[in-house]
């Protein structure tokens, strides 16, 4: 079996597998690994490093036409899809809950696609959970960006020239990214408060030494696989008031509230930004799904009412080396589930495999996606 590593054509600096993963794949008796020339360059994994571990460096066309399994960090475009042979297995993150047209294209081209953003959030799936890996990078980097743009220190200092008070950081959304942001801001000496609609998040926030903002009456759906659900209007009003009170005194707000497959909830409107202290910084990790702040612009740093608002959509790419290492390890762990004796073995009895397979044998096979895609299947 031939495994391919396709480079990203867009701004994404990450690569889907690293040289270490190539060596691991060869030990799994995979016959060849084809890496697109330059695919790892922007993450500082040179072609020569892939070659040293047994990969062949080839052009994009050969990766697309010869590979049985193609690993990606970016969504392949129409030209890429046309060049893949029917039956090719694609492995990456394709957002099938919103990218319905792409799913139809996979069906038409006879591509078997595994989209790891649909990974079940179970203990067993942790080793392949790219969402958690990338959220960890995003949460950390968001705090670093906030510090760079904040005209103040994070920790408290007692100096001969006066006392520096610690920065106040508010984190909205305490999933993987939010918890990493809390831990990072705490390590840097900030005073941290956080809020999440899921009851389970409270304990996690407190265990990191942050203050939890209490708002009664959130809808917490146990059937949503651990994900948050949309809240009713009454709760949204209570939540807005509680957030406002803390937000206007914060130096930094990190927002990471998301709802799987939906637009991110609006938590910081312009009125709150207007009341915030001049010089404050908002880093909107949810920018990729519409943003939690009304004034966020995707992939831009903007300033409104004296507040800097950062809306980078792919924070993981800004730390491409470690992000690729984590992503590559997740993909390798997934490949171990679908490779047996060097050949492809799609075991639908495995909930991690079945939970991520979107299209197979010219059909949409994922229950949740079936109803969303209109292509005759």
Contact call for residue 198 and ligand NAD (CB under 6 A)? yes
Is 92 exposed, middle or buried (CB count within 10 Å of its CB: 0-12, 13-18, 19+)? buried
Q: Which is nearer to ligand NAD, 114 or 195 (CB)?
A: 195
Return the residue of 123, 159, 163, 341 that touches ligand NAD, per CB under 6 A: 123
Binders in 220-239 for ligand NAD, by CB under 6 A: 226-228, 231
Number of residues that bind ligand NAD (CB under 6 A): 32
Question: 280 and 249 in contact (C-beta within 8 Å)?
Answer: no
Contacts of 148 (CB under 8 A, 6+ apart): none
Contact call for residue 122 and ligand NAD (CB under 6 A)? yes
Question: 351 and 121 in contact (C-beta within 8 Å)?
Answer: no
The vertex-209 CA angle with 204 and 212, nearest 5°, equals 60
The catalytic residue among 9, 32, 121, 244 is 121
**Is residue 115 flagged as an active site residue?**
no
Q: What is the length of the chain?
A: 377
Contact call for residue 255 and ligand NAD (CB under 6 A)? no
Contact call for residue 91 and ligand NAD (CB under 6 A)? no
Contact call for residue 268 and ligand NAD (CB under 6 A)? no
Q: What is the token pair recorded at 111? A: 């591509």
**Is residue 269 flagged as an active site residue?**
no
Return the residue of 125, 137, 150, 320 that touches ligand NAD, per CB under 6 A: 125
Q: Which is nearer to ligand NAD, 256 or 324 (CB)?
A: 256
Return the residue of 174, 208, 240, 309 that touches ligand NAD, per CB under 6 A: 174
Return the residue of 57, 70, 103, 201 that touches ligand NAD, per CB under 6 A: 201
The catalytic residue among 129, 196, 251, 284 is 129
The Cα 325–Cα 327 span in angstroms is 6
A 10 A CB-CB count for 184 gives: 25
Token pair 């938590």 is at which residue?
Answer: 267
Q: What is the token pair recorded at 60? A: 């994009």
Contact call for residue 195 and ligand NAD (CB under 6 A)? yes
Hey, CA dihedral for 80, 315, 299, 96, is it positive or negative? Answer: positive
Q: Which is nearer to ligand NAD, 129 or 284 (CB)?
A: 129
The Cα 324–Cα 315 span in angstroms is 12
**Is residue 227 flagged as an active site residue?**
yes
Residues making contact with ligand NAD (CB under 6 A): 121-123, 125-126, 129, 131-132, 135, 172-178, 195-198, 201, 226-228, 231, 256-260, 265, 267
Q: Provide the annotated active-site residues.
A: 121, 126, 129, 132, 227
């Amino acid at each position: 079996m031939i495994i391919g590593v396709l480079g990203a054509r867009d701004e994404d600096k990450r690569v889907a597998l690293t040289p270490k993963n190539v060596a691991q794949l060869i030990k799994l008796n995979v016959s060849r690994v084809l890496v697109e020339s330059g695919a790892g360059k922007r993450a500082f994994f040179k072609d020569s490093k892939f070659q040293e571990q047994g990969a062949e460096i080839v052009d994009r066309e050969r990766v697309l036409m010869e590979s049985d399994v193609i690993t990606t960090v970016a969504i392949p475009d129409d030209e890429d899809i046309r060049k893949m042979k029917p039956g090719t297995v694609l492995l990456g993150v394709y957002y099938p809950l919103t990218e319905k047209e792409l799913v139809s294209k996979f069906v038409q081209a006879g591509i078997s696609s595994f989209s790891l953003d649909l990974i079940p959030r179970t203990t067993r799936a942790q080793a392949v959970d790219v969402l958690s890996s990338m959220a960890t990078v995003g949460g950390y980097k968001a705090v670093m960006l906030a510090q760079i743009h904040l005209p103040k220190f994070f920790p408290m200092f007692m100096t001969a020239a006066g006392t520096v008070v610690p920065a106040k950081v508010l984190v909205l959304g305490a999933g993987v990214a939010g918890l990493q942001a809390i831990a990072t801001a705490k390590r840097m000496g900030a005073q941290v408060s956080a809020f999440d609609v899921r009851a389970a998040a409270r304990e996690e926030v407190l265990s990191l030494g942050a203050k939890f903002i209490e708002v009664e009456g959130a809808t917490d759906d146990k059937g949503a696989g651990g994900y948050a659900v949309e809240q009713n209007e009454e709760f949204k009003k209570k939540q807005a008031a509680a957030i406002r009170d803390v937000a206007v005194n914060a130096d930094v707000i990190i927002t990471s509230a998301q709802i799987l497959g939906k637009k991110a909830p609006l938590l910081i409107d312009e009125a709150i930004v207007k009341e915030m202290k001049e010089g404050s910084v908002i880093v909107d990790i949810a920018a990729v799904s519409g943003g939690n702040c009304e004034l966020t612009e995707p992939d831009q740093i903007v300033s409104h009412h004296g507040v800097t608002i950062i809306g980078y959509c792919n924070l993981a790419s800004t730390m491409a080396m470690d992000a690729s290492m984590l992503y590559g390890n997740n993909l390798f762990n997934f490949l171990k589930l679908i490779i047996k004796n060097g050949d492809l073995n799609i075991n639908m009895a495995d909930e991690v495999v079945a939970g991520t397979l979107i299209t197979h044998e010219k059909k949409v096979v994922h229950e949740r996606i079936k109803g969303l895609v209109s292509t005759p299947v």
